[in-house]
A and B are shown apart, each in its own frame.
Chain A
Amino acid sequence: NAGVTQTPKFRILKIGQSMTLQCTQDMNHNYMYWYRQDPGMGLKLIYYSVGAGITDKGEVPNGYNVSRSTTEDFPLRLELAAPSQTSVYFCASSYSLTSSPLHFGNGTRLTVT
């Protein structure tokens, strides 16, 4: 059982480049999330989705886009990378936060220089 899988694990981008962080889960969870964790800080919610075709903004959505075409996949898109987006990105999924915990992927460490 793979759980939540994120790729890549590490990435270095130049300012202005674009990339997509991939996230897939095999638990048939409706709820999926993207968080970022800046060095020495807690997690901030970027975007979340309550099901295929439905997404919504979290606390820090600027500079990012998401899509949810299937239950399994929830990619995060950075269009014009900026140094402020240097962070560790975590994807997570849940059956329901009121009845079960959030399952996290292992994270993607992104550096923008």
Chain B
Amino acid sequence: AQKVTQAQTEISVVEKEDVTLDCVYETRDTTYYLFWYKQPPSGELVFLIRRNSFDEQNEISGRYSWNFQKSTSSFNFTITASQVVDSAVYFCALVFSGGYNKLIFGAGTRLAVHP
């Protein structure tokens, strides 16, 4: 079965703390794609990153970084020096080769960054 698990329902941190959002996926396919989306309080969905299964290089974009480990089927997202504007729900999602047309979402992690 294809599945995305975000075990952390809610995380609360104080501004400037580093925080890691976990994402564990399940798929039997060797070709798949992983995504992260951000949903701020305003409700829209904002694309953050896409990674294919053949590219295990970690990626850094400003304060955001992603750690992809096929050995543990994880695609974790770290925010360094968090800011109040990072407060949002973050979704991890999966596209697998048996269902290239469908994006499967995890339940999301609500991040609250307090001043």
Contact = CB atoms under 8 A, between A and B. Distances in A.
User: Is this pair of chains taken from one and the same complex?
Assistant: yes
Interface string B46-90: 010010100000000000000000000000000000000000000
Main secondary structure of the interface of A (DSSP, over half): strand
20 contacts: A35-B105, A41-B107, A42-B91, A42-B107, A43-B105, A44-B105, A50-B101, A88-B43, A90-B45, A97-B33, A97-B102, A98-B52, A98-B100, A100-B50, A101-B47, A101-B50, A102-B103, A104-B45, A106-B44, A107-B44
B100 A107 contact: no
Interface residues of A, number: 25
Given A33-B103, A44-B105, A56-B101, 6 more contacts: A42-B105, A48-B101, A58-B102, A98-B95, A98-B100, A107-B43
Interface of B: 33, 35, 43-45, 47, 50, 52, 91, 95, 100-108
Contacts, number: 50
Contacts of B106: 42
Most buried by A among B52, B91, B101: B101
